[in-house]
Structure 1
Amino acid sequence: MNTTQEHNERIAKMTFASVYPHYITKVERKGRTKEELHQVIEWLTGFDEKKLQKFINDKATFETFFEKATLNPNAHLIKGVICGYRIEEIENQLTKQVRYLDKLIDELAKGKKIEKILRA
């Protein structure tokens, strides 16, 4: 199943600040920490906690967020299904990057070891 243009545009315009609290809630509800969440986000994007806070304060869109990110060279190893989409089959680069992040957070919430999540 591939994404539609409308779907891709909606994701691009969504703000990181609007989704971030849901990330925290999801991982903490499953016994993981905000620090682990930040470790996973930093691995994927290169953004430390200070930079994340700036994106939140600026209400940056995912488009801006990933434009400024330095994606981890091993990000291509993130595979599987998230939100009904097989990551490897997503053609739109931005949508794929957002789904990478979703998948990592999902794995964290499911209790996977950090070393496995970070594709070490």
Structure 2
Amino acid sequence: MNDTSHHDERIAKMTFASVYPHYIVKVEKKGRTKEELHQVIEWLTGYDEKKLQELIAEKVTFEAFFHNASINANAHLITGVICGYRIEEIENKLTQQVRYLDKLVDELAKGRKMEKILRVA
């Protein structure tokens, strides 16, 4: 893989609040709900509705957002390609976690069943 340090740094400094509205538009445009989006985010990060709203209001960076998250033990089961990168091959932990979230949002928007998105056995 190419040197992605600049890319990783850019992702780390991006605020979750700046991307969150795009997630909502993406899933709602495909007939899914904001509540389903929040369920997916909570599954990955452990953040409930109240905490999520606090983080959005505080305009935390992705770095802070994921630093304080309790990443789901099954997150490693999120595989595939997102934005041209194979998720399981991303070396930067933060970038990989952001791509986990991107992949889950994509799966939600594509109409995948919630049990599959949340990697339920």
TM class by smaller structure? over 0.9
Q: Distance in 2 between matches of 1:87 and 1:72?
A: 16
Q: Distance in 2 between matches of 1:51 and 1:40?
A: 14
Partner of 1:83: 83
Partner of 2:59: 59
Secondary structure of the residue aligned to 2:91 is: coil
Q: Distance in 1 between matches of 2:24 and 2:3?
A: 26
Structure 2: which 5+ runs fail to align? Answer: none
Partner of 1:115: 115
Secondary structure of the residue aligned to 2:119 is: coil
Q: Distance in 2 between matches of 1:118 and 1:3?
A: 31
Give the 5 Å matches for 1:44-55. Answer: 44-55=44-55
Query: Is 1:9 aligned to residue 17 of structure 2?
Result: no
Aligned pair count reads 120
Work out whether residues 2 and 89 of structure 1, in 8 Å CA contact, stay in contact via their aligned partners in 2.
no
TM-score normalised per structure 1: 0.98
Structure 1 segments of 4 or more deviating over 6 A? none
Structure 1: which 5+ runs fail to align? Answer: none
Give the letter aligned to residue 50 of structure 1: K
Partner of 1:101: 101
Question: 1:79-116 CA distances to partner (integer Å, 9 max, x unpaired)?
Answer: 00001110011000000000000000000000000000
Alignment RMSD: 0.8
Q: Distance in 2 between matches of 1:74 and 1:48?
A: 18
Give the letter aligned to residue 29 of structure 1: K
Identity across matched positions, percent: 79
Partner of 1:38: 38
Give the letter aligned to residue 95 of structure 2: T
Q: Distance in 1 between matches of 2:61 and 2:87?
A: 21
Q: Distance in 1 between matches of 2:98 and 2:3?
A: 13
Which structure carries more relative contact order (alpha carbon 8 Å, separation 6+)?
A: 1
Secondary structure of the residue aligned to 2:108 is: helix
Work out whether residues 3 and 90 of structure 1, in 8 Å CA contact, stay in contact via their aligned partners in 2.
no
